[in-house]
Amino acid sequence: MTTTASPSPGTPSPPPGLRDFYENPAVPVASGPSRTLRQARVLARALGPACASGPRTVLDIGCGDGTAAATAAPLLRGHRLIGVDWSQDALARARTRLPYAVRGELGGGGLPFASGAADAVLFSEVLEHLVDPDAALDEIRRVLRPGGHLMLSTPNLAAWYNRALLLAGVQPVFSEVSLRSVHGRPGAEVVGHLRLYTARALREFVAASGFAVVALEGAPFHGVPRVLRPLDRLACAAPSLASILLLHARRT
C-alpha cells in the first residue's frame, strides 16, 4: 500500500518528503488479513482453478511487505502472483514472503508489464495514498486484459462513525492533515492518506476510468475499539456506512 502515481512520463515525481515518508520502515505497509481473504475468495471464484483455466497472472500493486499477497496465495494456488511496489524497503520484506516482487510505479514510466499482461489486479488500501488516482487506474487498465478483474479496497469517508464525528466538528477517521503527527481526529498513527471516497464516489470514479463495477461490499476496520466492533460489523450490511469499501470491477 505504498505506491503513488504521477500523470505521465516526464511529470515530476512526488515531493521528496512524501517519498521519504513511504520509505520509512515505521510506516504501516500491511492491511487487515480478513479483508485480504475476502478479496482472494472472490478472485479465486472469478479466475477458477489453475488446473482448469491454466495459470493466470495476478498483480498485487502496492504489495507493501507482501503480507496480503502471502495471505491470498493459498486461495490462488497455481496462479502467478506478483507483488509490485515502489518502496525498496517494502520490497525487501516482500521478497521474504513472495516468489516474485518487482519495483514499479503507477506513473512516470509506468508498470514494468506489457499491455494486457495481467488477468487480475489486487489494489488493497492503495487508492487513498495516491497523488494522481486517475493516472493510476489508467495504468491498471492498460496492464489488464479486456475483462480482467480489479479487486480494490479503500477506507470509507462516510463510515458510520465518521458521520457522527463530522457532526461534532471532529476530523474524520482515516483522514490526514499532516505527515508528521495526528491532528484533530481519533487515533495516533499517521498513515499518509491523501484522498478518501464514499461508496457513491468510488463507484462513479472506477466506472469513469473504464471499468464495469461488479460488486461493492462493506468490511470492518480492525482499528475500531473492541466495544464498538459488533456495530462496525453490522454496518457492513450497508456498504455506504461500512468502515472499508471492497470493490470488484472488470476492465471494459
pTM for this entry? 0.86
Angle at 177 between CA 170 and CA 15, to 5 degrees: 170
> Looking at 158-162, 216-220, 221-225, which range is the least confident one?
221-225
Mean pLDDT of the chain: 88
pLDDT of 201 higher than 60: yes
pLDDT of 98 higher than 90: yes
CB burial string 170-204: b at 16+ within 10 A, e below: ebbbbbbeebeebeebeeeebbbbbbbbbbeebbe
